Amino acid sequence: MDNSDLANIGSDLDNENMTINNDNGHNDAALSRPVIQLEHLFKEYKLGKQRISVIDDVNLNILEGEFVAIVGASGSGKSTLLHLLGGLDKPSQGRVIIDGQDINKLSDSRLSKFRNQAIGFIFQSFYLQPFLTLRQNIEVASMPARINKKERRQKIDDLAKQVDLYDRLKHRPRELSGGQIQRAAIIRALLNNPKIILADEPTGNLDSKNSQDVISLFKDICSQYKTTVIIATHDQEIASQADHIITIKDGKIS
Ligand SMILES: Nc1ncnc2c1ncn2[C@@H]1O[C@H](COP(=O)(O)OP(=O)(O)O)[C@@H](O)[C@H]1O
Ligand SMILES: [Mg+2]
């Protein structure tokens, strides 16, 4: 995996006056730069006349290359926080700043372009297309990236080998286990070399060996490419391997 497409993303967005830093982490000073800043973030849902406060004045800095675990009980707001971080949902108040840009100030089309280029999502609700093979499913997701076919094939092969899926690339999703589909979603999210990976319970369907392989892969990506990986998990053993554990309870983080 190289970072040439990250550089392309950077220059492309720069052209539109939206800066993505594409320092590949060769400079150690980059390690301490916040890639994501949450400022006075609130999220409420309305249920009839009732308001439910899920995120309640959260302030947070997440650094480049950090591996972050968001932990909390079911219903505590982990998925809500990931959606806000990825610009899939809008806060009720406050700011989500990625590389200096308040993402909620972008138009919908700019935000969607930004998401495609800068963020890799590993969410259980993003299903694979049933009629495509695994390889085709992974390729489809990489279409917006400026990466040539040969390079993409090679990258899919390399990543599939790393997560033990290489011999399944010609299969269709119905021929695969939940864990294999999960790992395919991870390859798909990694293919564009995003600066940020957001993963909602990425080891939820996996046995302990596969869970550990996935976590090891995330750790490698963080240290090798200075990718920031943020996962939601209720698994303490998984969370304990993160650089930074964020616990969410009653809308507050600690
Ligand atoms: N779209 C929505 N409308 C109303 N309530 C929601 C919505 N999404 C989530 N919630 C509520 O917000 C709270 C946090 O949900 P969620 O972020 O999914 O928690 P977690 O991922 O930690 O299990 C829950 O009480 C949930 O019912
Ligand atoms: Mg959730």
Structure-token pair, residue 170: 């010609």
Per-residue confidence band for 125, with pLDDT thresholds at 50, 70 and 90: low
pLDDT value at position 9? 37
Q: Give me the residues paired with residue 95 across strands.
A: 39
CB atoms within 10 A of CB 133: 17
Q: How far is CA 142 from CA 135, 189, 216, in A?
A: 11, 8, 23
Mean pLDDT of 189-202: 91
The response to whether residue 78 sits with its C-beta less than 6 Å from ligand 1 reads yes
Q: Whose CA is nearest to atom 4 of ligand 1?
A: 45
Q: Which neighbouring-strand residues pair with 247?
A: 71
Instruction: Give the pLDDT confidence of 133-177 residue by residue, as tens digits.
Output: 989 988 887 665 567 888 889 989 999 998 889 999 999 999 988
**12 Ramachandran zone, left/alpha/beta (phi>0; psi -120 to 50):** alpha
Average pLDDT, the chain: 85
CB-ligand 1 contact for 72 (6 Å cutoff): yes
Distance, first Cα to last Cα, the chain = 35
Residue 233 Cβ < 6 Å to ligand 1: no
CA 201, 202, 204, 207 torsion-angle sign:
negative
Please give the Cα distance from 215 to 182 (Å, whole number). Answer: 13
Nearest partner of 200 among 230, 160, 237, judged by Cα: 230
CA 96 to ligand 1 center in whole angstroms = 19
